[in-house]
Amino acid sequence: MGCVHIYCGDGKGKTTAAAGLAVRMQGCGYPVVIARFLKTDDSGEVRALGSLPGITVIPCRKSFGFTWQMTEEQKEEAACCYSALFEEAAVLAQDACSRGEQALLILDEIFAAMGNGFVEEKRVLDFLKKRPHNLEIALTGRNPSDRMTEAADYVSEILCRKHPFEKGLGARRGIEF
């Protein structure tokens, strides 16, 4: 039976943990579908994961920038885009499961997408409840709701105790992205 994993918290490593799970599943011969919300494809793991057979990384079709800088029109467009991304990922994952094997779906930064009103939490919860029995799902991001954590089988919280950003060191290619 597929389980639901949550990687949450204010620390670095949520996406990295999900990427590690993707590599493990791929290494065992299982298909993986990855949808990234509120991110671009300019991150090292996108190229690496996408080059592995059996891993489908849905490409970023449009970048909207930081949510706090979006206009209302941009927010509406982002909601359409990210809702469609969720639906596409769900269909691809269900298709992978229809072949009878175990599969993994990663919804990276889905909590930020839901928290900003771009993807309806109810839709995600309904999908989790009705998912194929052989679909493993990993959800990442900060601040999952109580309803989301209740729906999960694993909840791993990654806490930030210290980060070089506090000393003025910005995001570094290959480490933070």
CA 176 and chain centroid, separation: 16
CA distance 113 to 121: 9
CA distance 8 to 136: 17
Residue 49: is its pLDDT beyond 90? yes
pLDDT range class, residue 142, cuts 50, 70, 90: very high
Beta bridge partners of 172: none
Task: Say what the pTM is.
Answer: 0.92
Tokens of 57: 């990384």
Residue 68: is its pLDDT beyond 90? no
Q: Are the C-beta atoms of 128 and 56 separated by less than 8 Å?
A: no
